[in-house]
Structures are given as structure tokens and as C-alpha cells.
Structure 1
Amino acid sequence: MSEDVQVDSTSEFFRLHEQEFGDDPIAVRESDHYAQEYVGGIVDKWDDLIDWQRRAEGEGRFFVDQLTSRGVTRVLDAATGTGFHSVQLAEAGFDTISADGSPQMLAKAFRNGLEHGGHLLRLVHADWRSLKRDVHGEFDAVICLGNSFTHLFSEHDRRKALAEFYSVLKHDGVLIIDQRNYDALLDGKTTGKSTYYYCGEEVNAVPDHVDEGLARYKYTFDDGGEYFLNMYPLRRDYLRGLLRDVGFQRIETFGDFQETAGDREPDFYIHVAEKSYLAELAD
């Protein structure tokens, strides 16, 4: 890896080959546990779950257009995962820094950058709650995609992470953050399957346990591989409220890349939150 890549290869999480949930998996509701979930086989298979080509077709130019329309040039991809959006942004000409809390995901992203267009991604191992310690400078935009924000289980952690996102943005910056439609899942209006974000045809991703404090998903691959992720089921309006509390002024929410999802429940919500001060909201 190049000297721009700040990943601690001695991290204990590089040595983990299997997920660890202990004797009571549904009791695992800790913000830091994600680092023990994105290891080994699930990292190796993550791109099979996404299916880069089909995902790109489903998203179209949504994120590129949102950023371009606001004059964005410098972007922090705060949850790069295996690098899909970082590569898309690099292809579109954005100056992108790619961060993630999983060392194994970052290593995969580095390889993917080279394989998909020969991009030398600039990677940073970072915790959102102390983002400015690891990521320096200001950005026109921060993106936090792939339902990643739902790995934070405490409201304190969520507020701290959003405050860190806010602080690294320029005065007129924008945060784009997404989430599963947990409202529909919690209210029994959907099975929780996704057609836009997780497009791989050789994997089945379904809820294994759902309550107001946990959405545990099971990912089963055609080769018999079985993995799990524990996430906090954020409700749409709750997250919008947190964004306002942190200071974001104008928040627009899309369902599956559309302003409205028609008669069906969207798989995902995408929130576009602007930092620019609006005097009329101060009254």
C-alpha cells in the first residue's frame, strides 16, 4: 500500500477470521462490535452481496448529481466499505478521502480501487466519534452510505458522530446519509429484503431478529456461507431530528433515489442535509 494509506495492519481485527457474537447474539448491542462483524468471510463476500454493476445501474447518477449540483469537489466517504462509492466518485472526478472503521474492509477497498479503474484510494482507518483526530482538513461533502450509521447503538454515539461529520464540513457543506427503511420493518409492512442496495443474486439477506432495539440480519450465500450483522433500527423521522439537532438546516429525504416511492415502501431512505445557515429557520 502507498504511504497515503493509514491502516494499522497490526490491528487485532486483521487477525479475526470469523465473526464473534458470543453465547447470546441478540444481546450484542454495542457500537464498537461492528469491527468484529466485518471480518473474514463476510468481507471477502461483500462484493457478491452488492454486485457493483447492478448497484451502479440502480443508483444511476443520483449521488454524483447531488454533489455536482452543489459545486462539491472534495468528499469524505466516511463508510467506504469495500470502496464502491469511493471508486464511483473517483471515476466522476471528485477529490475523495475514504474512511472506515474496519481494517479488513479498508484492505479490500484498496485492492478494489486498483482493480476497478486503477484508482489509488486514499484510505484512513477512523472512528466517526473522533473523526477529526484521524481525518484532517475540511470537505465540501461527507457521505455515509450503505446503512452504516445503524451500527451505532447509543444515542450519545449517534449525536457525537453527526457532530463530527458537521465539524469537518465547510460552512456550506452537505452530508448525505442513508438508512434502511426500518419503519416498514418494525411496523410489519415489509420483509426487509432490498432490491436497490444489495443486488447480488447469489445471496439471500433477510432479518433474523427484529425488535425496537435490534435488527439482526442473516446473509446466506449459495456456497453455504452464513453471516450476521447486528444493527440498530433507526426510524426515519428520528434520524431527521438528530440531523436538525446537530445543526443541519435543510434536510431532504429520498426513497430509493426518488423524491417519492409511489405506492410501495422504499427499501432505503437517503437524507441530504445541508449545513448552510438559513436565517428563516432561526425564528
Structure 2
Amino acid sequence: MIVQKQQQNYGPNPVAVRQTDKYKEEYITSFVARWDQLINWEARARSEGRFFMEVLQQRGAKKVLDVATGTGFHSVRLLQAGFDVVSADGSPEMLAKAFENGRRRGLILRTVQADWRWLNRDVHGKYDAVICLGNSFTHLFAENDRRKALAEFYAALRHDGVLILDQRNYDQILDSGFSSKHIYYYCGDNVKAEPEYVDDGLARFRYEFPDESVFHLNMYPLRKNYVRQLMTEVGFQQITTYGDFQETHHQHTPDFFIHVAEKKYELGTKNPGEI
């Protein structure tokens, strides 16, 4: 029998908790049950538009591995758009919620519980695309973990595959303080998602919901160019970075960055760029 945890526990000094494996304890049942209030599926779908579908379609991608499924938002959207999707996550609580969300929409998600660092042990086959969305890569605190995860993503791709990975604009948070319009990613009404503590090695976010419940996530504040450099060192040939979604990529301080990393090698390829 699975015992469902109802309270997060960071011990006497929460800002000292900086381990990758902590995420398994952070996504407790009561937090996951409220997660979709934070996202607001309908509002987020409007803000994204067809950005991710178009990135995938432009590259002829059909078979997609969603390695950070969460409650299933992107897996469901891609399935509805006709993509062949496998949904993976390290949190069994999230996978259960994703499966439930899919079933409510007449879809059966193919779910796999998998740790990115050993992804190909649990997820088999090759994919046209791997997507790692929802600021999920920030759960990895050690550089070795980040390199291992990216290498696993790379290995799961076909020779001409693409990785799409997003992250918060931690550069802005670290350099100038937190400011978010909550327009694109976290669209829920009366929900707050703000950093409670930030230093070069930790961004501790506080999540407040309309019923006054409060939860936290301890995450590593990834700088944009650092992530791009890691992708290059793992073997990705060309990386394009967008600010928020396509419609707003010229704004000066986006809430999120989206990296599109190509595995395919092409002669005469331009240097990795930003948009």
C-alpha cells in the first residue's frame, strides 16, 4: 500500500536542502492535487498557441518523449494534435494525476516512471523529439546530474532528433530580482508562485493557493548561457533560444527561456543562436 504524504518536510534549515533527489518528496499528494490551479490549462494553451507543435512539425517529428510530464498538459496537447507520445516523470504522484487528466479527456497516456539520469534504462526505443518543459531541469542540483541527464536525452533521440527544454529566467532573478507577469506559464487566478529565497545555488519558491495552502520547491537557478553550453558539450549541434513563446520573443526580460537543441549535424550550420 502506498502511503500518501500530506506535508512537505525540509527539516530545520530549508535553504540548506540542495539535493537532486529531494524532488521525489516535494511533490506530495496535496501539492499535486492543486498543481493544475497553478497552470490553468485553458489559459496556458491560449498563451502557448501552437508554438511547440510548430517546432516539432517543422522538423518532421512524430514520436515524442515527454520526460517531465507533470500533470500531463503537454502530453495531452501533443496527443490531441496527432503526435505519438510517451509520458515519463520521476514523480509517481504526477504520473497518476497525468493519467487521470488524460482519461478525463478520452486519452490513455503511456506513462513511465523514470529518473532522467538513468532514462534509457526505463524508457526504450528512439524518439524524434524529447521535451523537458515546465522548468523541470532546475530540479538537478549537481552538474554531473545535469550532464548525465542531457546525455540520456541525447541518447534517446534519433540521429536527427531535437530536444526542447525550458527554464525560468534565473538570470533576471539573480541579477535584478524577481518580476513575473504570470501571463505565459503560470496562468492560474489568485495563485502566487514567487521566490522566497535566492542565492547562486538555490531558488526556493513559495506557492500559495486560493485555499491558503502553501507549498515550496527548492530548485537550482540555471543561467541561460550555462544551459546552452552544457547542451553543446554533450553533443547538440545547434541551439536556438527563445524568450517566452514565439509571439513575444523580442521582449527584453522574458519569464522563461525555451532552448531548441538539434542533434543533427549539418555542414555549414550557423553558430548557435538566440531569438
Q: 1:150 aligns with which of 124, 130, 138?
A: 138
Tell me the amino acid that sits aligned with residue 105 of structure 1.
M
8 Å CA contact 1:99–1:125 kept in 2: the answer is yes
Task: Show structure 1 runs of 4+ deviating over 6 A.
Answer: none
Q: 2:75 aligns with which of 72, 86, 89?
A: 86
Answer yes or no: is 1:271 the counterpart of 2:259.
yes
Q: Deviations over 1:179-204 (max 9, x none)?
A: 00000000015425632101001211
Answer yes or no: is 1:237 the counterpart of 2:212.
no
Percent of aligned pairs sharing the same letter: 60
CA distance in 1: counterparts of 2:117 and 2:198, whole angstroms:
26
CA distance in 2: counterparts of 1:114 and 1:27, whole angstroms:
39
Tell me the amino acid that sits aligned with residue 128 of structure 1.
W
CA distance in 2: counterparts of 1:54 and 1:81, whole angstroms:
17
CA distance in 2: counterparts of 1:157 and 1:281, whole angstroms:
29
CA distance in 1: counterparts of 2:246 and 2:174, whole angstroms:
22
CA distance in 2: counterparts of 1:280 and 1:261, whole angstroms:
26
Counterpart in 1 of 2:6?
A: 17
CA RMSD of aligned residues (A): 1.7
Counterpart in 2 of 1:99?
A: 88
Q: Tell me the secondary structure at the aligned position of residue 246 of structure 2.
A: coil
Deviation at residue 17 of structure 1 after TM alignment = 2.1
Deviation at residue 280 of structure 1 after TM alignment = 4.2
Q: 2:39 aligns with which of 32, 50, 54?
A: 50
Deviation at residue 42 of structure 1 after TM alignment = 1.0
Answer yes or no: is 1:119 the counterpart of 2:107.
yes
Tell me the amino acid that sits aligned with residue 58 of structure 2.
S
TM-aligned CA distance change 1:97 to 1:199, over 3 Å = same
Counterpart in 2 of 1:163?
A: 151
Q: Deviations over 1:128-178 (max 9, x none)?
A: 000011000000000000000000000000000000000010000000000
Counterpart in 1 of 2:216?
A: 228
Q: Which runs of 5+ in 2 are unaligned?
A: 271-275
Deviation at residue 44 of structure 1 after TM alignment = 0.4
8 Å CA contact 2:243–2:250 kept in 1: the answer is no
Q: 1:60 aligns with which of 38, 49, 53?
A: 49
Q: Tell me the secondary structure at the aligned position of residue 187 of structure 1.
A: helix
Deviation at residue 262 of structure 1 after TM alignment = 3.3
CA distance in 2: counterparts of 1:191 and 1:74, whole angstroms:
36
Deviation at residue 257 of structure 1 after TM alignment = 1.1
> What is the TM-score normalised by the length of structure 2?
0.95
TM-aligned CA distance change 1:156 to 1:258, over 3 Å = same
Q: Tell me the secondary structure at the aligned position of residue 165 of structure 1.
A: helix
Tell me the amino acid that sits aligned with residue 255 of structure 1.
G
TM-aligned CA distance change 1:16 to 1:193, over 3 Å = farther
Counterpart in 2 of 1:39?
A: 28
TM-aligned CA distance change 1:235 to 1:259, over 3 Å = farther
Q: Which runs of 5+ in 1 are unaligned?
A: 1-9
